[in-house]
Amino acid sequence: MKVLGINPGSTSTKLAVYEHEKLLFEENIRHDDAELMKLADLTAQLPYRLDAIMSVLEKRDFQLSSLAAVVGRGGMLKPMSSGTYFVDDHLLEDARSGKYGNHASNLGSIIAAEIAREYQLPVFIVDPVGVDELIEEARISGLADIERKSHVHALNIKAVSRKIAAELGKELADTSFVAAHLGGGISVAALKGGRMIDVNNAENEGPFSPERAGGLPAKQLVQLCFSGKYSEKELLQRMTKQGGIFSYLGTKSVIEIEQRVKSGDPDAALVLKAMVHQIAKEIGAMATVLEGKADGIILTGGISHSEMITEWIREKVSFIGEVFVLPGEAEMEALAFGALRVLTGQEEAERY
């Protein structure tokens, strides 16, 4: 039983084919930034990305007719529970319109549906960005006009938590973890019984990240909004795409910053240590959500490849529990396995 997974990112589209649990092949198509920028909105990128995928599959002489299903990364959709979902017209409409936000991952379901159409294959998404398992008290922001929202690297966080649970000889449902996805954006989640009962919204709360500002001092932010320095669109762009490390050091590459730190650059060291400080603080906060009863702390995402950074974090948080490091992400596997759980009858797919 073969499954094709599609994972569109802001500058790349990853695809992978699994046969049952075995990876047959995986490709990371890196797109030309300038080409993508020319395609104003996300849906305009569809033919460009689809062509790139089809040419990879053709080069490999891969027959779409051999697939049992296509599964795409679920993008910014309505708040929903964790799981595998059938892609239907309503879901596609929300992904296309950007009603719940625009993110490259919105293209996951759209591309998957296009590929599946000719052979009338089932199409799924798994654990989209909008997975919402917050406990009610975590929704209260402190201002009645504003509700806190779950916006989190759900796909990877669930997948790596499942892996660590298995290493501990447990089902995910019998564990509690604090899981921190450290990538271009940063999500820290408190998982109780496998459910993400509190998270920092990766778009605008919690630690700053390579490209995002994270949570900011609210009064000064309001003053900046009304200062005339930025339009609404410009400020949102600055906070989410040009904030964090980028706003201080002019690069989003933690690899580069680490080299600068190692060659004695004090500015780079200060900013990196500040990011670690904020990540550790968020982990501590999520540990208290779990009343200190965590089976461990999981560090994942691209930045977790850095031993220097994971050691700095470990020094600050290991009093809470064991620290597990799973660098990178397990998203392709998570997509394929999510679809396979449905195709093999272990789980029922949800309706959007």
Residue ranges that bind ligand ATP, judged by CB under 6 A: 9, 183-185, 210, 252-255, 258, 301-303, 305-306, 329
- Cβ atoms of residues 323 and 317 within 8 Å: yes
How far is the CA of 94 from the CAs of 22, 47, 75, 108, 112, in angstroms? 32, 19, 9, 12, 15
Say which entry of ligand CCCC(=O)O, ligand ATP, none residue 302 contacts (CB below 5 to 8 A, set by partner kind): ligand ATP
Cβ 252 to ligand CCCC(=O)O shortest distance, Å = 12
CA 255 to each of CA 183, 209, 213, 300, 303: distance values in angstroms, whole numbers, following the listed order: 12, 13, 19, 15, 8
For 235, other C-beta atoms within 10 Å of its C-beta total 17
Continuous H helices in 150-242: 154-167, 218-225, 232-240
* φ, ψ at 188 (rounded to 5°): -120, 125
3-state helix, strand, coil in the chain (%, to 5): 45, 20, 35
Q: Where are the beta strands (DSSP E) in 84-206?
A: 84-86, 123-126, 176-182, 186-192, 195-199
How many degrees, rounded to 5, is the angle at CA 332 between CA 338 and CA 25?
Answer: 115
User: Which residue in 14, 73, 153, 192 binds ligand CCCC(=O)O (CB under 6 A)?
Assistant: 153
Give CA–CA dist 87/272, Å, rounded: 40
For ligand ATP, which is the closer residue by CB, 111 or 332?
Answer: 332
- Among 175, 187, 200, 310, indicate the residue that binds ligand CCCC(=O)O (CB under 6 A): 187
* Position 202 contacts ligand CCCC(=O)O (CB under 6 A): yes
Binding map of ligand CCCC(=O)O across residues 80-119, x = CB under 6 A, - = no contact: -----------------------x----------------
Distances (CA, A) of 246 to 14, 210, 251: 25, 6, 5
By a kind-dependent CB cut-off of 5 to 8 A, residue 203 interacts, out of ligand CCCC(=O)O, ligand ATP, none, with ligand CCCC(=O)O
14 binds, among ligand ATP, ligand CCCC(=O)O, none (CB under 5 to 8 A by kind): none
The answer to whether residue 276 forms part of the interface with ligand CCCC(=O)O (CB under 6 A) is: no
Return the structure tokens found at 40.
Answer: 């104003």
Residue 185 Cβ, how far from ligand CCCC(=O)O at the closest point, in Å? 4
DSSP state of 255: H
Which residue is at the shortest CB distance from ligand ATP?
Answer: 183
DSSP state of 181: E
Among ligand CCCC(=O)O, ligand ATP, none, residue 157 binds (CB under 5-8 Å by kind):
none
Of 89-97, 117-125, 150-158, 279-287: span binding ligand CCCC(=O)O (CB under 6 A): 150-158
Burial-class residue 55 by CB neighbours within 10 Å (0-12, 13-18, 19+).
exposed
Residue 277 binds which of ligand ATP, ligand CCCC(=O)O, none (CB < 5-8 A, kind-dependent): none
Residue 152 as a binder of ligand CCCC(=O)O (CB under 6 A): the answer is yes
| Binding partner selected for residue 301 from ligand ATP, ligand CCCC(=O)O, none, CB under the kind-specific 5 to 8 Å limit | ligand ATP
- Taking the least distance from each CB to ligand ATP, the nearer of 210 and 338 is 210
Provide the binding-site residues for ligand CCCC(=O)O, judged by CB under 6 A: 103, 129, 151-153, 185, 187, 202-203
